[in-house]
Each structure stands twice: as C-alpha cells, then as structure tokens.
Amino acid sequence: MGRAMALGLAEAGAKLAVVARSREADDLRRDVAALGSELLYLQADLLHKEQRAGLVDRVLQHYGELHILVNNAGVNRDAVIWKMTEQQWDEALDINLKGYFNYIRAVAPLMKEQGSGKIVNVTSINGMRGKFGQANYTAAKAGIIGLTKTVARELAKSNVNCNAVAPGLIETDMVKQAPDDVRQKALAEIVLGRMGLPEEVAYVVTFLCTEKSRHVTGEVIKVDGGQYI
C-alpha cells in the first residue's frame, strides 16, 4: 500500500520523502520520476529510536518545507491473548501506534507555525471491531483512531486536517503471508466479493492530502468493500 500511496501522491504533484526499512527504492524512485516528481528515500526501522531521530529535519533540509504526513507503518505479531508475549505486544504497539505518535509530534510544531497541513493515518477495520488472535494489532489500530480524532481537535485552529483510512482485506504482502483459511474467512465477509487493491486505498489517501478535502477532519474512512457491515 505504501508504494501505491507514494505513486498516487506523486501523480497529484507531491514531492516525496519515503521512510522504510528496505533498501530497495530504485524502482519506486524511477516510477516517481516518470510521473514528474522527486523521491527522497530514508531508511529507518521504527523499532529503533536512534534510526528515526532527525528524519523530519532531513526532509526539511532537502526540500525546505513539509506539508503532508502519511503514517502507514504496520506489523503483525499475532497470538491469542493467553499466549501473547510482552515482546509481541510491545513491538506491535511501538510500530503500529507509537511510531505514528512520534511522527505526528515531530511535524505538529511545523504545521502549526505555517498554518496548514495534512495528516493521514492508516488504521484498519479490525481496530474498529477486534480480531481473534490480534489483541496487540487491534489495540494499536484502535489507538490510531483515538489519536487521529484528538490530533484533529488539537490542530484544527492551525488549519491542519487529520484523518484516518481503515482498509479491510487488501492484496498486500502481509495478507499473502496469512494462512489460506484466514484469507478465505475474511473474503467471505466482503459484500463486494473480492479483496481490495492497494491503489484503491491510495485513491482515498491522496484525496485526504489535497485541498479537495479541506473540510474533512477527524474522520475514519473505511476502504473495505463492505467487509465491516
């Protein structure tokens, strides 16, 4: 989904700074360039404080400005609650929730000072309803929703919009790694009868990052083909 979001934003005219653990950025940089945009790639693992320190400053040094933040980090550390370890809990919360907090806290003073900004947090429909075997993941994704609504209130006077997008079952690498019976059970919930595409999430994220969404804030928009119904 991160790749699809990057391409969607580049197509809309944004210059990009992408933070990821992988070193494989050449293909994405080439595709972004083909859309007439630019990509600054920053390698970091959100679990390591020393790696994420100063990332926003590096973006400002490169571009001189920052107007959009999209938080899209996510990991699974699945286990039923009676078998879940503290490490599994901590890693899921640190990346899926605390990582979002760290980036929002870093950009908030800048957006307040300039009097504008767009923040989009990717959560999940499972943060709205719970999911067997994912107490840590769903707690983090539910926390993102509360964080989104609070930040929307706190930054509203500075003309900063903060919203969340809640995907359902989307064709991503994370979903492909899930057991087949788990995927089939989730697929049966989707009233449109198919998994979503990363691009379909990216369309909504891109909209929320443009001035077309200037009167939308504190919202959680589901992109799930009716899976939550």
Rounded distance between C-alpha atoms, residue 169 and residue 186, angstroms: 7
- Which amino acid is located at 131 in the chain? K
d(Cα 26, Cα 175) in Å, to the nearest integer?
Answer: 24
State how far the alpha carbon of 85 is from the alpha carbons of 46, 148, 163, 191, in Å: 20, 27, 31, 35
Q: Between the CA of residue 91 and those of 57, 61, 76, 86, 190, what are the distances in Å?
A: 25, 30, 9, 8, 29
Told to judge if 137 belongs to the known catalytic residues of this protein, a careful annotator would answer yes
Q: Can you name the residues that pair with 194 across neighbouring β-strands?
A: none
Q: Which residue is catalytic, options 63, 103, 137, 228? A: 137
The structure tokens listed for 70 are 């999209």
**Are the CB atoms for 165 and 179 separated by under 8 Å?**
no
Catalytic positions, written as ranges: 137
